[in-house]
């Protein structure tokens, strides 16, 4: 049996999205900027996809800018605001558990003279609103906090952060919503979010496509210049097949949201209950089982190194991750697990299980049985 439990790294593309992408590549292959019929047909597809993305997060179609993915969206949001606001303020606030596509941009901005406050998080991965309130000043131009953490599934208090942000005229609120879309409710209007990043391949759409929501009247400086596509905010011929597939994935995520989120939570709890019942001495990392995002479970198996267990599971057709796929080829303990104060032995034995549309209860039960066998064997072997 093959069991893919690394859906926070990437997801299998839904057949509906694949069919739409093939149709666009084969038939509607025109350039949306062309002024002939083929261009018009392509533009229509572009507009339909934009509408589907906007519907998923409750915004106007004109507030969606297509990018190459979550990383580019985060780069555009942070650098675009920093560049356009630098004459008015130089202070940015974020947290210590953000994705590298946020943290590495912030590092670069610090080298250019910006001052960044990195908020601490508690053992569940949540920021402290009091600390945030104390950090905001008249120089603060940007607050960037992720909605759902990609390693431990913490859901940050986005609505409360937006309320605090609104008290300061200059501050723009950016949310990395890559792991949240389709899994928890996102309503950028109600939550008063100014910028929100999305990625196609995290919601069973294709890789290489994403979007940035930019609230009307929020000014941002482009980081890619050229022909002026996407309202001059992201130049370059649009990746129409990717956009079409992304649009279908957003449409399906919207239509199936409630049932899918509930099913993911059931799978997550089934796996955790099975592990707890069958394997002694384990540790749940991050929020309590019912508090975090429905699709992410992070558990440590003390006495077994993460990478060793990952490959032992791989032998049985089970695919998991020791942490974020964007950083787990690098040496050292995850910055997220460090930030929640996890002891080194627990951090080095952590496994992230992340669930998606195609997972079944049968797969979860198989995973529990293989984990029981492999953890028991490896603990005996590694303690010799």
Neighbours of 78 (CB within 10 A): 28
- CA distances (Å), 111 to each of 45, 104, 107, 139, 378, in order? 41, 11, 7, 18, 45
Tell how strand 91-95 and strand 115-119 pair up. Answer: parallel
Tens of pLDDT, residues 202-250 = 999 999 999 999 999 999 999 999 999 999 999 999 999 999 999 999 9
Q: Whole-angstrom Cα distance, residue 71 to residue 248?
A: 21
pLDDT, position 333: 84
Active site residue 59: no
pLDDT, position 168: 85
- Cα 165 to chain centroid distance, Å, stands at 22
- Token digits for 255? 């239509």
Q: In degrees, to the nearest 5, what angle opens at C-alpha 181 toward C-alphas 128 and 212?
A: 90
Q: Helix (H, G, I), strand (E, B), or coil: what is residue 318?
A: strand
Q: Whole-angstrom Cα distance, residue 323 to residue 96?
A: 15
pLDDT, position 328: 53
pLDDT, position 170: 84
Contacts of 1 (CB under 8 A, 6+ apart): 317, 362, 363, 366
- Token digits for 115? 């001052």
Tens of pLDDT, residues 240-261 = 999 999 999 999 999 999 999 9
**Residue in 18, 135, 325, 326 annotated catalytic:** 326
Regions of the chain where pLDDT drops below 50: none
- CA distances (Å), 125 to each of 91, 122, 181, in order? 23, 5, 19
Q: Whole-angstrom Cα distance, residue 84 to residue 74?
A: 16
Neighbours of 352 (CB within 10 A): 29
Tens of pLDDT, residues 277-323 = 999 999 999 999 999 999 999 999 999 999 999 999 999 999 999 96
DSSP letter, residue 316: T
pLDDT, position 330: 57
pLDDT, position 130: 97
Q: Which of 53-74 are b and which e, b meaning 16 or more Cβ less than 10 Å from the residue's Cβ?
A: bbbbbebeeebbbbbbbbbbbb
pLDDT, position 384: 53
pLDDT, position 332: 73
Tell how strand 172-176 and strand 195-199 pair up. Answer: parallel
pLDDT, position 293: 98
Handedness of CA 290, 296, 297, 300 (dihedral sign): negative
Q: Whole-angstrom Cα distance, residue 380 to residue 363?
A: 26
């Amino acid at each position: 049996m093959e069991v893919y439990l690394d859906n926070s790294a990437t997801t299998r593309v839904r057949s509906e999205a694949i069919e739409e992408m093939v149709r666009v590549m084969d038939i509607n292959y025109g350039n949306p900027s062309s002024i002939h019929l083929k261009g018009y047909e392509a533009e229509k597809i572009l507009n339909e996809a934009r509408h589907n993305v906007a519907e998923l997060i409750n915004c106007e179609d004109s507030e969606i800018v297509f990018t190459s993915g979550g990383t580019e969206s985060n780069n555009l949001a942070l650098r675009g605001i920093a560049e356009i606001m630098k004459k008015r303020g130089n202070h940015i606030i974020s947290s210590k558990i953000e994705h590298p596509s946020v943290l590495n941009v912030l590092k670069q901005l610090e080298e250019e003279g910006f001052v960044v406050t990195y908020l601490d998080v508690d053992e569940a991965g949540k920021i402290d609103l009091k600390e945030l309130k104390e950090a905001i000043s008249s120089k603060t131009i940007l607050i960037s906090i992720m909605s759902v953490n990609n390693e431990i599934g913490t859901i940050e208090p986005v609505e409360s952060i937006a309320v605090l942000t609104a008290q300061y005229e200059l501050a723009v609120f950016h949310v990395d919503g890559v792991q949240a879309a389709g899994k928890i409710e996102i309503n950028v209007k109600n939550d008063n979010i100014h910028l929100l990043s999305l990625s196609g391949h995290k919601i069973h759409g294709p890789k290489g496509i994403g979007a940035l929501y930019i609230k009307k009247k929020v000014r941002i400086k482009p980081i890619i210049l050229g022909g002026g596509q996407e309202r001059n905010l992201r130049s370059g011929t649009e990746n129409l097949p990717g956009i079409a597939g992304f649009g279908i994935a957003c449409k399906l995520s919207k239509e199936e949201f409630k049932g899918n989120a509930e099913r993911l939570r059931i799978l997550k709890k089934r796996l955790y209950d099975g592990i707890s019942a069958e394997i002694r001495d384990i540790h749940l990392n991050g929020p309590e089982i019912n508090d975090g995002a429905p699709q992410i479970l992070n558990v440590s198996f003390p006495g077994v190194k993460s990478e060793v267990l990952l490959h032992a599971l791989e032998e049985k057709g089970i695919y998991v991750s020791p942490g974020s796929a964007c950083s787990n080829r690098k040496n050292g303990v995850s910055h997220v697990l460090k930030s929640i104060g996890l002891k080194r032995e627990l951090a080095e034995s952590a496994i992230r299980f992340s669930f998606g549309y195609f997972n079944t209860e049968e797969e979860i039960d198989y995973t529990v049985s293989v984990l029981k066998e492999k953890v028991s064997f490896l603990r005996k072997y590694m303690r010799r």
